[in-house]
A and B are shown apart, each in its own frame.
Chain A
Amino acid sequence: MEQGILLCVDDEMMVLSALRDQLRRVYGDRHLIEIAESAEEELEILDELSGDGYIPLVIISDWRMPGMKGDEFLAEVHRRFPQVIKIMLSGQADEEAVLRVRTQANLHEFIVKPWSTEVLIASIDVGLDALWTRVRS
């Protein structure tokens, strides 16, 4: 059985934990919610789960992280999974980096911390709707 995954990347566990609860509440019954503390870990998960038949649907990434930065990470994700809805959730980011990720990784939305749950969920929904439309067509 194929199941969608929503992935969150942030170097702060408190953010991840809060995000997970938020996403689980809305999408938990349909999709798997995965969190990762670094971009590298997230890529591991993607490799792992996509092998198990899971389809990555949404990636929410911080920009400022240890190791790979959010923009690089999203560019990499875009290369591998161009369909995935990519959202950047960050307290601070270079305008240049945001612009770069918008053009290079087809960024769905840039949301600043502190974020509003409704905005985040709405953004994901819009993304998912578009995705389903694309899939169906």
Chain B
Amino acid sequence: MKLAYKLLIPLVSILVLGFWLLYALWIHSERAMIDAFEAQSSRVIMDQLAQHRERRLETERAYLEFVASMAAKVAVEFVSNMNYAGIEQPISELLALDGVKAVQVFDATTDQTFVAAYREGGRSLVGTELPQGLAEYQQFRDRLTGSFDGHAVDYGYIAIYYDDARLLGEIQAMERASLARIDRIKADVQHMLAQRVDFQLVVFVIAALLLAGCVFLLVYRFVLTPLYALHQGLEQFFAFLQRQEDRIAPIALTGGDEFGDMARALNKNIEVSAKLLQSINALNATLEQKVEARTRQLRLANEKLELSLEGGRLGSFDWEIPSDRYSIDERWASLLGFEFDAADSRLDVWTSLIHPDDLDPTLQRLQRYLVAEEPHYETQYRVRTKDGRYLWILARGKVVTCDSQGRPVRVAGTHMDISHIKETEQRLLDATQRAERALTELQSAQAQLIQSEKMAALGHLIAGVAHEINTPLGAVKSSGSNIAHSLEQALGNLPELFRLLTPEEESLFLDLLARARAQTGILSSREARRLTRALAGGLEGQGVAGARRIADILVQLGVQDSPDSYLPLIRHSHCDFILETAYSVAAIATNTANINHAVERAAKIIVALKSFSRHDASGKRRETDLRQNIETVLTLYHNQIKQNTELVFRHAEIPPLSCYPDELCQVWTNLIHNALQAMHSHGTLQIDLAAENGTAVVTVADTGDGIPSEIRERIFEPFFTTKRAGEGCGLGLDIVKKIIAKHDGRLELESEVGVGTTFKVYLPYPEPI
């Protein structure tokens, strides 16, 4: 509202000044009017006063003329009669009149003054002579006319000398009083005017201020406020433009006047501008983003460059060939520890720093590049730093200027400190050598590990094998003692028996023994019991005493099918003796068979153990029957498999495979062992042996837990194990994989958690040479 302040003071000033001027003018005209009025009234009054004086003077004159005429009439008598004495009286009376200075009666007949009276020093003197000096007074003369004999006779005249000074003084005093009164009125008017001036001034000032206020208010309301609104609107608009805000309120000015029009026009403008600005902003934003992104990239690139220059220990060189000026940048020089005079150095100064071993190859390379034998100048050499160390640097350069004949005159490029790379290379070389050594060691360690894994598996087997061996041993031992006892009993009983038996009974007994010997297969305990029970029931029905015991023996002898044919023996009074003897004889055979069976079993285990633990040092493939190979392992695992595990081994007739049998044994051992563990020895272990497309395929399938997919990849990793500590070192499947790889075969794995796992081993038959 600066305009308001600007406007307020001049406006008030102008109005006050204007009013003041107006007022002054008014006052002036009022004064002029009053003055004119005063002058006019003064003139009128003066005129009137003059007229009044004239009239008084006229009246006085008329009076005095009348007096003179009257006196003339009187005097005529005196004169005509010559009565001098009588006349004195009237004349004195005349002289008593105010202003009458002298009176003369002139007698024309005598032509002498008849009488003269005058005033002297307050006294009336009557004489015949008039004093001098009466000329200055007014003279009223009247003829003395009388009649004599009917004839008008002129007797002379009477003159009255009149002094109007007193009258004039009187009139003047009156006039003066009138004028004084008028002056008083004037003074009153002036005073009144003067009094009114202050009040009027105040009123005028107030009026001026009020008017100014009103004008200002009007101006304020109808000019300044809209102007201010416009100004605010524009300010906002500019702020909007500057701050680039999203939106802007339009100018709130809706009057029908020019300001309103202006506001509407501006609003339109603002709206358009705002839209424009928004689009510009949008553009800007995109642009800014792009710029920012670009800036960031540039900054990153710059930082990288800086870093690579700094961290990469990179420097630049510049060689001007004609002047042999060879310079490197200061930072690089300081990195090398030289206060290298970059401006005044020569190539030989630089080459003097090069390691003697690298000097010739470096110079040769540079030379070859300069004569364009090589497309690039890039070489590595060692440079001596100030502290005497050698730094490996990678120099890369390029001819940047050639003369008119195309000869290079300036070569520039970079030097990079590659000591750390060289160091790393060296370390890498060392590490590689160490790794190679370690690998060799590891390979031998691995061989040991494989062996130890095998021994671990073996160790695990030992417990089972102890049982496997001890069981047949126990059977052999017991059966041996049984045979001895049975033989003893049989030999002791037989002579007695044959003496007791009739020939029919004897042949029946021999038949019984023959049947017992001839019996094939061993009955399961359950089956034997069932038969015994049934037979005992039958015998009891026939009234046989000790039926159960007899039935038991008959079942053992294997004649449960036809007990009736042996009734004579059963009903024999020495039944027990007969059957005991028969049992003893039969027991010799059954125990012998038992021994054979046990021995076979033991032998099988021994063979399996032998073939399992044998370390084939020949390292040569041997033609092997895979079925036998697998059975060896199955034999060793027999005792673990048979516990609630159903074993299904399906084997097709396949040609022998040229392989490393003991190593394959290890494969089967691992797979079967894992399968049994996965099934917790409950389920079905199915092993299939087949050949297809020149490949032997061994499938080991279990109905175990399955392998969770997250560890399926890991199970082949060395030392990965899900077994408890001490049960395996986690090398099993790694070894399996290696052995299969050694046979150029492959291993497939299918597994479903909760359903089971199937390993398929594919072993190709080697191509016939």
Contact = CB atoms under 8 A, between A and B. Distances in A.
B475 A15 contact: yes
B587 A92 contact: no
A116 interface: yes
B474 A32 contact: no
Interface stretch (A64-72, A97-105, A129-137): A64-72
Nearest to A91: B470
Contact of A22 (B463, B481, B583, B590): B481
Contact of A13 (B463, B525, B583, B644): B525
A117 B548 contact: no
A4 B463 CA distance: 35
Nearest to A35: B525
Given A34-B529, A92-B463, A92-B466, A17 B471 contact: no
B463 to A, nearest CB: 6
Contact of A90 (B467, B479, B525): B467
Given A66-B643, A66-B644, A91-B466, A114 B474 contact: yes
A15 B524 CA distance: 13
Given A13-B522, A14-B598, A67 B644 contact: yes
Contact of B473 (A22, A35, A45, A114): A114
Interface string B481-522: 110011001000000000000000000000000000000001
A23 to B, nearest CB: 10
A128 to B, nearest CB: 20
B642 A66 contact: yes
B764 interface: no
A37 interface: yes
B643 A91 contact: no
Residues of A in contact with B, size category: 35 or more
Between A19, A34, A113, the greatest number of chain B beta carbons within 10 A of the residue's beta carbon is seen for A113
Interface in B597-653: 597-598, 601, 639, 642-644
Contacts of B591: 17-18, 21
A117 B525 contact: no
B529 A45 contact: yes
Nearest to B468: A91
Nearest to B641: A66
Contacts of B590: 17, 21
Contact of A92 (B467, B583, B643): B467
B642 A113 contact: no
A12 B475 CA distance: 9
A51 B522 CA distance: 28
B472 A14 contact: yes
Contacts of A47: none
A29 to B, nearest CB: 8
A36 B525 contact: yes
B643 A21 contact: no
Contacts of A19: 478
Given A14-B597, A32-B548, A115 B477 contact: yes
Given A35-B525, A91-B474, A117 B643 contact: no
Between B470, B525, B548, B643, the greatest number of chain A beta carbons within 10 A of the residue's beta carbon is seen for B525
B594 interface: yes
A18 B529 contact: no
B736 interface: no
A61 to B, nearest CB: 14
A112 B473 CA distance: 11
B525 A12 contact: no
Interface residues of B, number: 40
A34 B466 CA distance: 26
Contacts, number: 109
A115 to B, nearest CB: 6
B243 interface: no
Contacts of B99: none
A112 B522 CA distance: 25
A9 to B, nearest CB: 9
A35 B464 CA distance: 23
A117 B474 CA distance: 10
A113 B466 CA distance: 9
B745 to A, nearest CB: 34
A117 B485 CA distance: 11
Contacts of A90: 467
A11 B594 contact: no
A74 interface: no
A125 interface: no
Contacts of B525: 13, 16, 34-37, 41
B685 interface: no
B526 A41 contact: yes
Contacts of A41: 525-526
Nearest to A32: B548
A19 to B, nearest CB: 7
B756 to A, nearest CB: 20
Nearest to A54: B548
Nearest to B598: A14
B474 A17 contact: no
B471 A22 contact: no
Contacts of B486: 21
Nearest to B523: A13
B469 interface: yes
B144 interface: no
A35 B469 CA distance: 21
Contacts of A13: 522, 524-525
B209 to A, nearest CB: 122
Contacts of B485: 21, 25
Contacts of A116: 477
A37 B526 contact: yes
B544 to A, nearest CB: 16
20 contacts: A11-B642, A12-B472, A14-B479, A14-B597, A15-B471, A16-B525, A17-B522, A18-B478, A18-B594, A25-B489, A36-B526, A64-B467, A65-B643, A67-B644, A91-B473, A92-B467, A113-B467, A113-B470, A113-B471, A115-B478
The 5 lowest CB-CB distance pairs between A and B, nearest first, are A91-B470, A113-B474, A18-B478, A91-B467, A114-B474
Given A19-B478, A22-B478, 19 more contacts: A11-B643, A14-B597, A14-B601, A15-B471, A15-B474, A15-B478, A21-B478, A21-B479, A21-B587, A22-B481, A25-B482, A32-B548, A66-B642, A90-B467, A91-B468, A92-B463, A114-B474, A115-B474, A117-B481
Interface of B: 463-464, 466-479, 481-482, 485-486, 489, 522, 524-526, 529, 548-549, 583, 587, 590-591, 594, 597-598, 601, 639, 642-644
